[in-house]
Amino acid sequence: MKICIFGAGAIGGYMGVKLAQVGADVSLVARGPHLKAMKKNGLRLIEEGNDTTVPVTASENPEDLGIQDYVVITLKAHSVPLIVNKMEPLINKKTTIVSGVNGIPWWYFHKVGGEFEGTRVNSVDPGNVQWDAFGPDKVLGCVVYPAAEVIEPGVIKHIEGNRFSLGEPDGSKSDRALKLSKALTAAGIKAPVRPKLRDEIWVKLWGNLSFNPISALTHATLDVLCTDVGTRDVARKMMIEAQSIAEKLGVKFPIDVERRIDGGAAVGAHRTSMLQDLDQGRPMEIDALVTSVQELGRITKTPTPTIDVVLSLIKLRARSENL
């Protein structure tokens, strides 16, 4: 089984090291100083007091890596449409695309059934680039839970979590899902195959939708924005609007809004990914985490007044920073 991780940053690098440690046939697509360090020194993972370095097969050019059984995409959502053509040398008719990308996935309405079957999500797949190039039948969904960071080129620090939930768009326990789950489990990664992956997508997105833009607008850490009366109320309203959309699409939430916000507060003085991107001058995941929810609101005819306001503000903030 050949597995290529396209986007060997913190999360992709973490998965790559874990697979390489157990002898899996894994390769990574990376670039810049990170790639140079991997080629020279191997890829290093610092995890729970353990410090491990493994040699890895890595390249900036996918042609060097050949056809794969699985291509795991661990890029930011806005980056993917721009590199679809670059992925072609990795893919044939039997290749599975594993979409480990935050937010509403471009394939969301594939095999969902009902009146919205086949609906495209323009905010995360403008021009249907991924839908047309990959084809939704090639996709295996993935919700990524680990937190990690690249602390220097070639070095990944794992912070918490080791679960990558997998799921077919139709909810089946397919051979391809079970085989990948087995390979990841052998590497010490939790990889359950879920019959209702969209439920997990929404529970994770619930927090990202609200906490990320609010933190980028206020520079507040999670513990502060989840306990301040004003920002907690804004987050609550955004989450209630999102829940109304999701429930129209058949999603079941296992916890209520207050518990989800309390869970964010319990994380402590964490700077969200959007705030980190803003501070480091990188594009923020606005479309995948916020615009996509607004778009699904329009599709389901669900009002999103609070989401609309926060989205307008964070988009202006991004433009003012030339991001």
| Confidence class for position 159, pLDDT limits 50, 70, 90 | confident
Query: In the prediction, which pLDDT does 49 show?
Result: 85
Edge-to-edge strands, sheet with 155-160: 50-54, 43-47, 155-160, 147-152
Query: In the prediction, which pLDDT does 179 show?
Result: 98
> Is domain 2-195 given the CATH code 3.40.50.720 in the classification?
yes
Question: What's the mean per-residue pLDDT of the chain?
Answer: 96
pLDDT, tens digit (0-9, with 9 covering 90-100), for 266-308: 988 888 989 989 999 999 999 999 999 999 999 999 999 999 9
Q: What's phi and psi for 253, nearest 5 deg? A: -95, 125
Spacing of C-alpha 254 from chain mean position: 20
Residue 177 in tokens: 């899902």
| pTM, to two decimals | 0.94
The C-alpha atoms of residue 242 and residue 228 are separated, in whole angstroms, by 21
Which stretch of DSSP H or E encloses residue 61?
Answer: none
Catalytic residues: 204
Q: What is the mean pLDDT of residues 109-125?
A: 96
pLDDT, tens digit (0-9, with 9 covering 90-100), for 197-210: 999 999 999 999 99
Spacing of C-alpha 75 from chain mean position: 7
Secondary structure class of 179 (helix, strand, coil): helix
Secondary structure class of 43 (helix, strand, coil): strand
Query: In the prediction, which pLDDT does 323 show?
Result: 86
For the chain, the domains span 2-195, 198-318
Q: What is the mean pLDDT of residues 45-56?
A: 94
The C-alpha atoms of residue 81 and residue 68 are separated, in whole angstroms, by 20
Pick the CATH number of 198-318 from 3.40.50.1820, 1.10.1040.10, 3.40.640.10, 1.10.10.200: 1.10.1040.10
The C-alpha atoms of residue 285 and residue 277 are separated, in whole angstroms, by 9
pLDDT, tens digit (0-9, with 9 covering 90-100), for 124-134: 999 999 999 99
